[in-house]
Amino acid sequence: MDAIIIDDEKRARINLSLILKEYCPEVNIVAQCENLSQGVKAIRKLKPLIVLLDIEMPGHSGLELLDFFDENEIDFSVIFTTAYNEYAVKAFKFSAVDYLLKPIIPEELSNAIQRVKKQQLKLQDYAMLKGNLTQASLGKIAIPSGTSLIFLDVSKILFIKGEGAYSEITMLDGSKHLVSRNLRNFEEVLADNHSFFRPHKSYIVNLDHVVSYNKSDGGSLFFANNQSIPISSEKAQIILEKIKLVRR
């Protein structure tokens, strides 16, 4: 998650960057700015997800930040940092993700970053849903990649492997996509496509690309490239029936 620090005090910028490095390693500081003018330019150029913004600065108050952007340009979250408690009410009216009093307490900063992450996931979920609804009739699914969406041709998906909260999509050409969505999510998205089946708690397979079924060692499905995935014993008969159905 890219972030920009805007604070007129050099010591405050250094302190905040050190705390982020130790307590929030997922945050990548792409710029440190000493005034609002520099900060606005950096935001436009670098497109950060998070802006850590001091309020009391010479020239322009941090509260004036959004005056420099049109509504459709605001795709970042703001976390205010200030030594003045009187700004709290204004900060929340500004819809900041959080408001941190200096000196910054690491745990409070970490909690604020986690709230940004959850907010971003919700936005990605909405974008992914919108993309999937749009692309469904075209035989594609949308997956998040950073701040963008990638559209994958479902007919070229070999299988999807679930790993906790993540899923890895293996394509026919050998390319792979790691997505922060669990396997259940893809099972629901692909529910109407009869070529896809979940033969194992950790896998969804495209039966169009299965070339053989091996009963040994509990059972496995093989693809033309010799890759294989395991199947659950209770799914074996269902798989044979589905393969026949798909290939009619």
pLDDT at 157: 94
pLDDT at 212: 85
Quickly list H helices, the chain.
10-23, 36-46, 88-93, 106-135, 183-189, 236-246
- Supply the CATH classification number for the domain 139-246: 2.40.50.1020
Q: Ramachandran region of residue 34, left (φ > 0), alpha (ψ -120 to 50) or beta?
A: alpha
For residue 77, which of 100, 98, 104 has the smallest C-alpha distance?
98
Q: pLDDT per residue over 206-246, tens digit each?
A: 988 988 888 777 788 899 998 999 988 777 777 777 666 55
Predicted structure pTM score: 0.48
Burial class (CB in 10 A: 0-12, 13-18, 19+), 10: exposed
Residue extent(s) of CATH 2.40.50.1020 domains in the chain:
139-246
pLDDT at 125: 59
pLDDT at 204: 93
Residue extent(s) of CATH 3.40.50.2300 domains in the chain:
2-123
Structure tokens at 16: 């905040």
pLDDT at 89: 46
| Separation CA 117–CA 119 (nearest Å) | 5
Token pair 């945050």 is found at: 27
End-to-end CA distance of the chain: 48
pLDDT at 164: 86
Q: Which fold is adopted by the domain 2-123?
A: Rossmann fold (3.40.50)
Q: Give me the average pLDDT of each 10-residue run along the chain (248 residues).
A: 92 93 92 93 92 85 80 78 64 58 87 80 58 60 75 91 91 90 85 86 91 81 90 77 59
| Separation CA 199–CA 236 (nearest Å) | 8
